[in-house]
Structure formats: structure tokens, C-alpha cells
Chains A and B, each alone.
Chain A
């Protein structure tokens, strides 16, 4: 966050760790920033479970986690991109294209197919990053353009029909059917990735450079952060997580189509990242909270059905919940310009 530390606290900063831990509890705003996404998910889940007691018993959590898995994978990549102050509007389209490629390649290539697809989509992401970093164009407009290109590629490649996995699909679909604690493996992949990314952002030079760019890019350049290279890596990672999402899509449905599962995940994934406390203007991201953001996004439509909201009013409720929840969890800085 861009908060300016008052001189007194700055002087006290290099003290011991317990001091900062105590201050976390003293400052409700920071405590909320860390625990807010979890609290909101648990409260919403409790409301649903209270209103429809059968919900948790009848595999409700499995259902939510399965729906959340592709959203989570996309949201993790998006959180990294938002963290450097950019946005990637093309990642859901990359996931769809990746799913179609995977559906085609699984039969001839077997185990090599997912690896090849991950490599290809990572390269797609890297191309986005190269253009953003070296042509210095706004990522919103650029990825809006590449979104169109990836969509067209998916349509042309699939011939506008659904592509089914003809062979070797068992190993992939096992990721969806098997699970730990009743939660499918596709979701656990997201959890592991979130922890890795969290550690990467906090403890590695590359991760700190990303956050530095998001906080103040000019400052980062003057501090010898290799901003262009870092941006390429971030967009490539966004492509990579989109590739993992395409594996999750194939695992879940065994088929892919340009207009089918995944294409409508762009906005839910951005919402999940922001619900997880990621700042849309950059500099703040906590991949672990994005897990709860994705769960909340997946829970809202399921919850509205479970509570018995009229099917026709579901969009209305969804829109309102998004606004309210983001208003609650958003990272705010006093006096900052909000666009």
C-alpha cells in the first residue's frame, strides 16, 4: 500500500518482530486486510448452511471447490498482473484456446500434451508481456486486442464446434474426480500454486521487484529494477496459470469449445483477485487470500440458488454482492485517486 509511514513509526520500525505483530492486532484496518476475504467467505458459507442445512451435507463444498478451481487458477495469474499495476484481459481466452489445443493433442501426444500446451500458453503470455514492456502500450488496450485474436484462433482451430478428447483423457479427468478431503485435485493445484506464489512475492528478489513496480514504477526503474524483464515474466506467468486453468477445464468436462466453459471466466477471475484483496492499481497482492476470493465468487451463484433466490433475480443479486464485497475488502489509501 502507498501509505506514508509517520516519522515516529518509521523510527520505531527496525525493532523486533513481536512489535509489528502486536501492531497488526492494534490496527483493525490491517487485520481486516489480512483476514477479510476468509471472514467474508466463512460468513457467507455460514448463512447458506444456516438457511439450507442440507447444503454442506450434500457435497456442497466439493461443488463450490470444483467450480472455483478454474477461476482460482486464472485469478492467481491475474493477481500477479494487477500487482504490477497492469491488467490481463486475455487470460480467459488463452485458457479456452489452451483447452482446445489440449483436447486435440491428448490423443497423439499423451503425457507430453499438457506440458506442450503449458509451454505454448506461457509463450502467448510472454508475447503479451513483451508488447506491454517494449512497445510501452497500456495493457488494458493491448490485451483487449489479443483477447480478440485468441478468441478467433480458438474459433478457427475448433471449427466452431466442441472438441472432445478422443483418447488418453483418463489421467486428466482423474484430477477432477479424485481429491483430498472431498476437494478435487484441480482446486488443490490452485492452493499449492497460491502458496508458492505467496512465498515468491514475499521472499524472492523477483517477487519484491514485481510489487515495487506496482507501487511506483519510476522509483523501481531508478532502483535498478529490470522492469521490462519483470513485466514479461509476470505476463508469462499469467499465461502459465491460464494453461493450468485449461487443464482444469478439460479435467472437468472432457471437451472444449470456443464458446463453452472458460470464456466467461474473465470477469469472475478479476473479481476473485480483487475480492482476495488485490489492489487494482497495483502494489498489493496476497495470493493466499485470492483462494478465498475465488471460493466466494464460486459460492455466490450456488448460494443464491440454495437460498432460493428467484432464478431471474440471480444476476441482480450477483452484481450487488460483487459491489458490496469489494467495497468491504478493498485496500484503500486515504486521499488516493481512485479511477
Chain B
């Protein structure tokens, strides 16, 4: 033993160390190359749309884009957390409907009823949390795949919203100060965007510096090993689903505020923006790889694209096709270098 160690100490390890250094450097370049590619694509889109329509590159339109991006950004933070676990949350539109409806019925609206002010927010988000807890508990305890649990919860949320709506008149916001809050500007940018920015920062900090965030990556990377290391997998998953659903609830409030009226389908279409945005951002659907800032890039790319296409006069019929083609191109480019005969991609 002693001899062996002596010998290895004398061996020249420069070549090995150099190789390791190269590997580290290469993985670093690969790590920033993908977000840089997205930023380049975003800049290219902005330049093209500015040339096509001078109204694109105005402060007013910037406010518009950031206002439109706020709801998918808030939902996207939660969706990123869930996808990092390797699971998926399809319930966002239902939760948005339930929370949004609860909020407007508890705020000053044309149906009358009590104006609970801040408690309306708390109550609405609590409904989201309850739905998220139900999803998480059914998923972890009954071991039903998250795809199905949250699909069911989508309809449950829609159902709760419809039951709350009842058969009366459409509840409209009567307090203009509340109704206009989301889109009115503070420091030149819309309030809804500031709210989304706070959520994004909290999401980044949670993932980077808290135990919950690190464990989320660990579970997504390899659940069996995480469990073997004493990680309370079921509890962490449940907490992540609760966080995601409360963010959907918050987004439901903002969306209802912008609409100015209560609607069960207030979240309609959000799911099919958020999941492509997360995937285009580069968060792996298998879990364990990605992050919130990548999702921000994905959301901004898709929002700028939608906004720019409308301003460029492209018929709305083409929009889902263009977004789809970009999603296909993005994932093929991202996966191209990793192709291998023995690689398994589901």
C-alpha cells in the first residue's frame, strides 16, 4: 500500500489535470452556449420586428409585451419547479379559473357581496394551494402519474370556478383602482411585470440557495438515489406542487384583474404557452436540468414572437404554427449534439 502511494506521487499528472481542465472549460462553454443562443434569437427577433413595423420598438409596446408576459412568467416559475422534478402540472388553467373566480367574488364586483380587500387575495391563493396540495398528495400517496392527477385537477378547478360562478350575472370589477392596477405603470413598467419579476427572483433564489430547491434538482436527477440519501421525496414533491398551484392562483388573479370580469376559462391557452416556454428555455422534461431564468427567456421569446407577428400583420391563424415550428427547431438543435445510437429519448 505504502509503496503504491509513493509511486503514484511520482507519476506526472499534468496531462490528466490538463484534460480535466479542458473538460470543465468545455462544459462551461456548453452551459452558457444554450442561453446565449436564446438571447441571440430574441435579439434577432426584436431587430426583424422593429424593421417590419416601427410601432414595435416603442416604450408603449415594451410595456405591452411585459404586461402580456407577466401571467406566463408567474405560472412558468411554478411549472419549471414541477418539471425539474420530472413531473408535469397540467392543472394551471383550472387553478387559474378557480382562484380568479374566488378573487373577483370576494372583491368589489357588480354582484355586490362583501369586499374583503387583501383577504380576497389570500382566500383565492389558498384555493390554489388546496388544489395543489390535493394534486401533490394524490400523486405521491396514490402513486398516480402527475400527468393524470393534474389533468383531473384541471377539470376540478374549472368545475369549482363554474360552481362559484353559479347562474347569476357576470361579476364585473367595480373598483377601477383595483381593475387597473395590473396594467398601470410604476417606474415606467407595468405593475403586473414587477410582480412577475419578484416571483422570478424568489424562484431563482429558492432553487439556488434553499434546501428545497437543491433537493428538487436531486429528485429530478435521480429519484432513487435521492430517496436513498434520506431525502423526504414525497414531502418535497407535495410542497413543489403546492407552490406551483399557488403561483397559478396568483396568475389567475392577475388575469382576472386584466379581464375586469369573472370567467372560469380565464386561463385558457396559458398551458400551451408555458410548457413550450419551459422546454424552449432548455429545462429538461426528464427533470434535474434547467432553471427559472431559462424559462424567463423562453416566455419572453414566445411573447415577443406573438406580439411581433400581430404587429407585422400576420394572420392569427399562423401563430400556433410559428410557435410550434420554433419549438420543434429549438429542441432538435438542442438535442443534435447529444445524439448517440445508444441514447434513450422518450
Contacts and interface: CB of A to CB of B under 8 A. Distances in A.
A141 B155 contact: no
Interface in A297-335: 310, 312-320, 322-323, 326-327, 330, 332
A132 interface: yes
Given A142-B328, A144-B275, A338 B139 contact: yes
B166 A338 contact: no
User: Of B167, B321, B343, which is in contact with the most chain A CB atoms at under 10 Å from its CB?
Assistant: B321
B155 A339 contact: no
B345 A147 contact: no
Given A319-B153, A319-B156, A327-B138, A142 B331 contact: yes
B26 interface: no
Contact of B324 (A135, A145, A271): A145
Nearest to B340: A136
Contacts of A137: 331-332, 335, 345
A218 interface: yes
B148 A280 contact: yes
Interface string B7-29: 00000000000000000000000
B107 interface: no
Interface stretch (A2-10, A152-160, A167-175, A182-190): A152-160
A120 interface: no
Nearest to B315: A156
Interface stretch (B48-56, B60-68, B119-127, B157-165): B157-165
A190 B335 CA distance: 36
Nearest to B141: A327
Interface in A116-175: 131-132, 135-142, 144-153, 155-156, 160
B143 interface: yes
B346 A147 contact: no
Interface string B137-176: 0110011111111011111111110110111000000000
Interface in B269-312: 272, 275-276, 279, 285-287
A132 B345 contact: yes
A138 B346 contact: yes
A115 interface: no
B148 A323 contact: yes
How many of chain A's residues touch chain B, expressed as a range? 35 or more
Contacts of A337: 223-224
A221 interface: yes
B336 interface: yes
Given A138-B286, A327-B138, A316 B339 contact: no
B59 interface: no
Contacts of A86: 346
Contacts of B326: 145
Contacts of B197: none
Interface in B82-121: 85-88, 94
B285 A152 contact: no
Contacts of A217: 344, 346
A282 interface: yes
Given A312-B167, A330-B144, A221 B341 contact: yes
Interface in A72-118: 85-86
A218 B325 contact: no
A282 B346 CA distance: 10
A262 to B, nearest CB: 16
A87 to B, nearest CB: 8
A144 B324 CA distance: 7
Contacts of B343: 136
Contacts of B336: 135
A88 to B, nearest CB: 12
B317 interface: yes
B165 A312 contact: yes
Given A136-B339, A141-B285, A313-B163, A338 B145 contact: yes
B286 A156 contact: no
Contact of A322 (B148, B163, B338): B148
Given A152-B324, A271-B148, A315 B319 contact: no
Given A136-B338, A327-B142, A322 B323 contact: no
Contact of B166 (A140, A312, A318, A322): A312
A327 B133 CA distance: 17
Interface of A: 85-86, 131-132, 135-142, 144-153, 155-156, 160, 217-218, 221, 267, 270-271, 274, 280-282, 310, 312-320, 322-323, 326-327, 330, 332, 337-339
Given A148-B325, A151-B320, 20 more contacts: A85-B346, A138-B345, A142-B331, A144-B276, A145-B325, A145-B326, A146-B328, A152-B324, A153-B321, A221-B341, A221-B342, A271-B148, A312-B159, A316-B159, A319-B94, A319-B157, A319-B158, A322-B155, A323-B149, A338-B144
13 contacts: A86-B346, A139-B345, A141-B279, A145-B328, A147-B324, A149-B324, A152-B321, A312-B159, A319-B154, A319-B155, A319-B156, A323-B138, A338-B143
A-B pairs, top 8 by smallest CB distance, nearest first, are A148-B324, A316-B159, A152-B321, A319-B155, A145-B327, A315-B159, A323-B152, A319-B156
